[in-house]
Structure 1
Amino acid sequence: MLAATKGIAPQRSLLVVGAQILQILDQPTTISQTWTRLREWRASNGYHAPVPFGWFVLSLDVLYALGVVELDRELLSRRQADATSAGGR
């Protein structure tokens, strides 16, 4: 589920979908805008395996658990890396 397996194609693994989300997340956007941009990006970059909305949400959950995205006032954004607090995690 997180990574590719026999039953999950590499382009549908949560880590790959999460990486694709990070590629398009160049500014704070709503969840629905991010979903639309991800589908457009995947279509234009040759990723034809469908990603259901639930899988997209699970990918966001993984990114949030890893501390790389945050949701503030309904806007999703990349979390800024703070080198001073990295040791405290």
Structure 2
Amino acid sequence: MIAPSKYVNTKNSLLGQSTALLAVRQDGTTVSELWDKVREAGTDISYERFILCLDFLYAVGLVEIQGGTLSWHR
């Protein structure tokens, strides 16, 4: 689920898990560097959910990939 609901709590929704990516975001990092930072932060997000979170953030216009690096919009 993208958004939390009666059956899906916030920390298990894409919206909630995407905040872990936003917490460690930095312009100029690659996807693999961002994955390493998310794992170092102690989150329990699987790689598949991590990619879905990136897709979600791209769909809402918060991140782009340019020349192999991530560019974040504020």
TM-score under structure 1 length normalisation: 0.71
Once the two structures are superposed, residues 34-80 of structure 1 have per-residue CA deviations (whole angstroms, 9 ceiling, x without a partner) of 01101111x1xxx5xx311111101001100000100001101202x
Does 1:72 pair with 2:66?
yes
Question: How much has 1:16 moved relative to structure 2?
Answer: 1.4
Aligned residues: 73
Residue aligning to 2:39: 39
* Equivalent position to 2:49, from 50, 55, 59: 55
Partner AA of 2:70 in structure 1: L
Preserved CA contact (<8 Å) 1:25 1:77: no
Q: Sequence identity of aligned pairs in percent?
A: 33
Structure 2 stretches lacking a partner, 5+ long: none
Structure with the greater alpha carbon radius of gyration: 1
Secondary structure in structure 2 of the residue aligned to 1:4: coil
Residue aligning to 2:26: 26
